Structure 1
Amino acid sequence: MNRLLMTTSANVLPAWLSERAEAIGVTSAKIIVILLVALVTRFLLHRGIRRLTQRTASGDTPVILRPLSDRARNSLKDSVIPSERRTQRAAAIGSVLRSFTSIVILSITVVLILGELGINLTPIVASAGVVGVALGFGAQNLVKDFLSGIGLILEDQYGVGDVVDLGEASGTIEGVGLRITRLRDNAGVVWYVRNGEIIRVGNKSQGYAQVVLDVPVSHETDLDQARQAMQEAGDALVRDEGWADKVLGEAESLGVEQITASAIILRLQVRTTTADQWRVARELRLRIARRFSELGIASPLPIMGMGPGETGQAAPGG
């Protein structure tokens, strides 16, 4: 009897071990296949994203977007995106896409592997949901900053080198990240602004700029002579080869802008390239002052001038 039991056990044990070994082998093979597919998929997607962002950074239109190239060209014909900004946008977009694809692939891979191991996913999913809610409450500001940063970069609201007004801080942009925007004001102070806290943006460096000079003259001044002098100063600046690349149109003397008890305000305006409006305004003031001095035109108050959006604040150096 004992010999029969031992014989039966000896026959059953190898069969059980064989079945378990076969099951483990099949499960291991499936897990290896899942990992290989995940790695290959991630590699191919990242490679495609990298190529797409490189072509975007170089200014080429990807094949998938070529049917829309004419429409985009018409809508952006007056907007030139410098290569540095284009590269920055492409890098940021590529980083977001790579992170997104990695998270999706990792999540799917983990779920498939746990399923092959026979682990019940319901408690894990429930726990992950609770943890996700807790993290969402704790990191909502961080998520808000990242989402706002993605929107700022995709919409090209501003880029490195732009002169902007962000409300509490204004100055020249030195760096744009997914969470933080760094800018330096006219006093040299570096400001770090969270993207989620940016409610409005005033960009003085997109498209073109407008120089508007309000020149006060005394009531006794010959207004026609003063207007002509201002027009001559503006025309001379436009014709000057040293300033031709900074001016986008003819200077225009608009005439009397305002009459006060102490002076008559005459206005001159000219369209310029972005970030050059302050230099052009300074040169125009100098030329108008010299021309007025030659003609003996009296100015009761200092000549005042404003670039776009300026309200008497100091202009960037240059």
Structure 2
Amino acid sequence: MSPLFTAATPCITDASTWCYQVFRATNNEWLAGSANWLLTKPLKILMIIVIAFAVRLLIRRMINRITTLPKSNGKLPALLRPLRERAPEVLGSAVIERRRQRAQTIGSVLKSMATFLVYGLAFILVLGELGLNLGPIIASAGIIGVAIGFGAQNLVKDFLSGIFMMVEDQYGVGDVVDVGEATGTVEAVGLRITTLRDMKGTVWYVRNGEVLRVGNSSQGFAVALVDVPLGYTADVERASTVLMEAASIATESEALRANVLEPPEMLGVESVTPEGIQLRLTVKVRPGKQWAVQRALRGQLLAALEEAGFEPPLGRLFPSATPAIEK
């Protein structure tokens, strides 16, 4: 072996290298010198890709396990247990759909993040094995990312709002919500869009990033509010007594008992209008049941007043105030 040959390819003298093994097998200096690229580099790159794929698959399976709703009892998935849940019990079977959508959406976000991180790290490691300078590439990717983020800022805003809304459980399937431009029952919740159906059956698609405030009528408890009109000459104290007795009997009936949480409360004179006086009565009820209780009470209270000899204000049977939209 000539000194020139040894100096040109010094690795052929090191028995611990692939270069030495390839040179012994082929007696070719070029192949021996390229052994690192032809064997070592491809094997390392292949190993990085295989490990990345396996890690991603393992992470996705773990996420599926903690976000899958148990079929037997419908309990919370493991992922949602540490998070606060505001789903009202009266939703019944809708709670399961609400939990399923919430868990699947959060799981989808976690899967996307895991895929991005694992494959991103693998891509950087592969470029490092190829000997490329990662500095300019990372800088270019940062600039492109800023440009894309600026151009798609509304989309990013929608997704971020959807993530926080899901984690905080601000509303879900079955809730009656007021998001400003639309009021209705939530039919579906996604990371970008929330779907509502209003009283007239119109479906509203609301971008999560455009929701500045949410009024949820289906969390915790609700208050059934009934305003009853009286004439100026009516005995307010006697009318209040009649209304309280009628409301107590109505809330103890089989039709309303399951939805009422506390006894009715007479607040007294709410307002004085040119047509007459308005008395206000409230009842604490289960969330989402306030409108049904209001309708039932309004009819029975007006009938009780009529039976007791009270006449409605002249010219009007109901309060002059514009009634709130009822469900």
Alignment TM class, shorter chain as reference: 0.7 to 0.9
Task: Give TM-score scaled by structure 2 length.
Answer: 0.82
User: Structure 2: which 5+ runs fail to align?
Assistant: 6-22
1:194 is aligned to 207
Residues 1-318 of structure 1 mapped to structure 2, 5 A cutoff: 14-54=28-68, 58-60=74-76, 62=78, 82-300=95-313, 301-304=316-319, 312-316=323-327
Distance of 2:70 and 2:156 partners within structure 1: 26
Distance of 2:33 and 2:156 partners within structure 1: 49
Aligned AA for 2:29?
A
8 Å contact kept, 2:197–2:204: yes
| Secondary structure at 1:259 match in 2 | strand
| Secondary structure at 1:191 match in 2 | strand
8 Å contact kept, 1:175–1:182: yes
Listed one character per residue, the Cα deviations across residues 57-84 of structure 1 (whole Å, up to 9, x for unaligned) are 943574x998xx7xx8xx8799658332
| Secondary structure at 1:266 match in 2 | strand
Distance of 2:59 and 2:111 partners within structure 1: 8
Distance of 1:151 and 1:77 partners within structure 2: 14
| Secondary structure at 2:185 match in 1 | strand
Question: Shift in Å at residue 314 of structure 1?
Answer: 3.1
Q: Percent identity?
A: 45
| Secondary structure at 1:188 match in 2 | coil
User: Structure 1: which 5+ runs fail to align?
Assistant: none
| Secondary structure at 2:184 match in 1 | strand
Distance of 2:70 and 2:54 partners within structure 1: 24
Distance of 1:65 and 1:191 partners within structure 2: 27
Q: Per the alignment, do residues 203 and 102 of structure 1 end up closer, same or farther by CA in structure 2, a change over 3 Å counting?
A: same
Aligned AA for 2:53?
L
8 Å contact kept, 1:171–1:186: yes
Question: Shift in Å at residue 26 of structure 1?
Answer: 1.0
Distance of 2:261 and 2:319 partners within structure 1: 22
Listed one character per residue, the Cα deviations across residues 245-284 of structure 1 (whole Å, up to 9, x for unaligned) are 2211111222233334542221111011122111111110
Distance of 2:227 and 2:324 partners within structure 1: 15
Distance of 2:215 and 2:288 partners within structure 1: 13
8 Å contact kept, 1:213–1:304: no
Task: Give TM-score scaled by structure 1 length.
Answer: 0.84
8 Å contact kept, 2:228–2:302: no
Question: Shift in Å at residue 13 of structure 1?
Answer: 7.0
Distance of 1:192 and 1:55 partners within structure 2: 26
Q: Per the alignment, do residues 130 and 56 of structure 1 end up closer, same or farther by CA in structure 2, a change over 3 Å counting?
A: farther
Question: Shift in Å at residue 93 of structure 1?
Answer: 0.9
8 Å contact kept, 2:264–2:282: yes
| Secondary structure at 1:221 match in 2 | coil
